[in-house]
Structure 1
Amino acid sequence: MEVFKVTTEVYADADIKSILAELKCEKVTIITDAMMVKVGLIAKVEDALKKSDIQYDIFDGVEMNPSLESVKKALDQVIDFSPETIIAVGGGSTLDSAKAVRYFLKRTGIDIPVIAIPTTSGTGSEVTSYAVITDTVNSVKIPIKDEEMMPKIAILDPEFTRTLPKSVVADGGIDALTHAIEAYSCSVANFHTQIYAMTAIKGIFKNLLKMYRNIEDRDARVEMAKASCIAGIAFEKSGLGINHSVAHAIGGKFHKPHGRSNGVVLPYIIRFNSENMETAQKYYEIAKELELPCSSVKEGAESLAIAVEILNRELGIPARVKDMGIDEVEYNKLIPEMAETALNDICTGGNIRKVNVEDLKDIFRKVF
């Protein structure tokens, strides 16, 4: 028996003002980062709350790769203000931070729901029970998964992605594509998750470059928000794979954007997993849906890897880790440690092909 349940209420192509006007509470904490305040997006949320006479407090100390320390600061501020709801406004780092705050609050018996307003089209964090927090002492990214972290509401308002710089569009979009491809191909993918994942893959290939080249293209922003969201739903139910494990390890040690790390690694992982024709079948199926050359399973899998490489190039994403500005000597020294970290990553168990630490060492060497 397969059970498929989507917990979060998703409002796509929505206006936050109309949704927040229905909010039944007296106090709200907004969790965000300083840039969201600077560009005026938080003012839009403030205006909506003021019209409903809702008191609010703002924590704007979210970091690009949220650390345990910054989550604790947010947690302390939320406890002091005692809101009934948390509104998270930002990219994956912000949404993960808010979800982590909810996670720790629940451990103490305090239940505060999260409303997620993503400002990027990439992480899908608005509909998942995952959060990735960085242990800065040991330079390790810690993926947390708990059903209680799932946001109650997700609002996909295209006005909140209209000011994104090209690099963020690229990193977020390729992150969403990685989610979708891994969700489709992972070891426990099923009929339901594959429908969501394939729809996301097709939507991203159709709309990501449009959004990247012209941020004023509202339709592209709306469709990318939907694609990112349903990719999140897919991997929430199916899991991911070693693409994320490897990216987590690189990001943890060298503090590079998660989405960009995923994109750099993706063609290599497709090829690694496709060395076995049985595991290559999933990539062939994706290539066929995208109408790429696929007269055989082998050709289809390779076509997908090439299509990702071309997309990366058009988005300005490097073809190898070395081009992300990482020192070769330091990187090589850390390969054994990163391989062990990746092997123990929560995402590795879902990979379509079983791996060992030597496989991962070889992958780290190849992607550099």
Structure 2
Amino acid sequence: MSTMSFSIPRTIYYGEGSLEKLSTLKGKRAAIVTGGSSMKKFGFLEQTVALLQKAGIESIIIDGVEPNPSVETVKKGAQSMLDFGPDWIVAIGGGSALDAAKVMWCFYEHPELSFEDIITPGSMPALRTKAKFIAIPSTSGTASEITAFSVITDTAKHIKYPIVAADMVPDIAILDPALPMTMPKHITANTGMDVMAHAVEALASTAATAFTDPYAIQAIKMVLESLPVAYAEPKNMAAREAMHEASALAGMAFTNASLGLVHSMAHKIGGEFGVTHGLANAILLPYVIAYNRKFSDKYDYAEKILGLGDLCKAIDGMNKKMGIPSTFKDCTEVDFNEAKFKEVLDRMSKNAWEDPCTLTNPGKPTIADVKMLFEAAYYGKAVK
């Protein structure tokens, strides 16, 4: 085996009240990056500003990050940072806000770069010449607070690009369960299944190691136990805390082991149709597991450790309990028009096959395999 590495944030604060740690920072200016109005609505944005002020840190707010952050959004945010000159970047909100803030950070530190300059793995230059990064997730799903990943959408090409760079792992992650308690039930479901997809794909990844497997297995266990409770009882603090921690654990696994076809395909069908990433993952996961079982015994390994009869059935069962459809044609979140699906299928399959996450999927999937899986997940067909 070649030399490997294992990276996680230098510091992780977790548990009730952990947001208060912002008041202990040392610095002068902070750029706070957030998405829509939820962090403002529930008072977390105001609290963040006040805690930074208590630390003697002046701040600006860069808001309006959309659910699928675009190249234009990150460029605009980077310009605001260049104008203000922060030494801390504080990303608070869902995965989209955290992902966008990471790439804003890159363009703040290196304004001469274009988006095309950073989309190839290994092309990101060194960060932390101007600022350090804090990530505070409001959803228990993307694990962007832990990872070296960011997903940005090129709206002109209708493609989501996963950007991977070890330097994008945040300096500090704050996991305060008070934030995800504000999530609506459908977002709890979608983001929770994103956690499951991260853990399952990291486990089966061809780059999985003895360092990553324990995090993946524990995350799967915690999602199976706590996601149905968090969905049914939104104010259950123990379940919210467990899901927030499971998300981070899965993130530790996949940022070091990478992912697979579930994410490759979710990135591309999300780019074409605008479907929420976690929902796409939830629908795709059982189909990809069925395909991957031909090449990997890691699902058997997980079932043995966790005492599960069938991981796919367990995932299907959770999806059904939370109202997640088993096929894209039955998905009502966006318009999955069949004519459009057929029109973009070949392009979408090729783009998914070229996605970096495909490189660590078990076996050696072809474009034809990816197309077959898209059709299976759209129509509910058996996986060949």
Matched, 1:30 2:37: no
SS in 2 for 1:128: coil
Structure 1 CA distance, aligned partners of 2:21 and 2:167?
Answer: 22
Matched, 1:40 2:59: no
Matched, 1:285 2:301: yes
SS in 2 for 1:215: coil
Map residues 51-200 of structure 1 onto 2, 5 A cutoff: 51-108=54-111, 110-200=129-219
Question: Number of paired residues?
Answer: 356
Matched, 1:311 2:318: yes
SS in 2 for 1:347: helix
What is the match of residue 330 of structure 2?
Answer: 323
Structure 1 CA distance, aligned partners of 2:306 and 2:318?
Answer: 13
CA apart distance, 1:319: 0.6
CA apart distance, 1:69: 0.6
Map residues 326-341 of structure 1 onto 2, 5 A cutoff: 326-341=336-351
User: Are the equivalent residues in 2 in contact too, given 1:332–1:365 (CA < 8 A)?
Assistant: no
Of 256, 263, 266, the residue aligned with 2:275 is: 256
User: Are the equivalent residues in 2 in contact too, given 1:14–1:155 (CA < 8 A)?
Assistant: no
Q: Please list every run of 5 or more consecutive structure 1 residues that lacks an aligned counterpart in the other structure.
A: 294-302
Where do 4+ consecutive residues of structure 1 move more than 3 Å? Answer: 1-5
Structure 2 CA distance, aligned partners of 1:340 and 1:350?
Answer: 16
User: Are the equivalent residues in 2 in contact too, given 1:127–1:150 (CA < 8 A)?
Assistant: yes
Identity of aligned residues (%): 38
- Tell which deviates more after alignment, 34-43 or 227-236: 34-43
Deviations along 1:203-249, whole A, 9 cap, x unmatched? 11111111111111111111111100010010011010001011111
Over aligned residues, Cα RMSD in angstroms? 1.4
- Tell which deviates more after alignment, 118-127 or 32-41: 32-41
Deviations along 1:240-277, whole A, 9 cap, x unmatched? 00010111111000001000000000000011112x2x
What is the match of residue 362 of structure 2?
Answer: 352
TM-score scaled by length of structure 1: 0.94
Q: Please list every run of 5 or more consecutive structure 2 residues that lacks an aligned counterpart in the other structure.
A: 112-126, 379-384
CA apart distance, 1:71: 0.8
User: Are the equivalent residues in 2 in contact too, given 1:8–1:127 (CA < 8 A)?
Assistant: no
Structure 2 CA distance, aligned partners of 1:54 and 1:292?
Answer: 50
SS in 2 for 1:126: coil
1:221 alignment partner AA: R
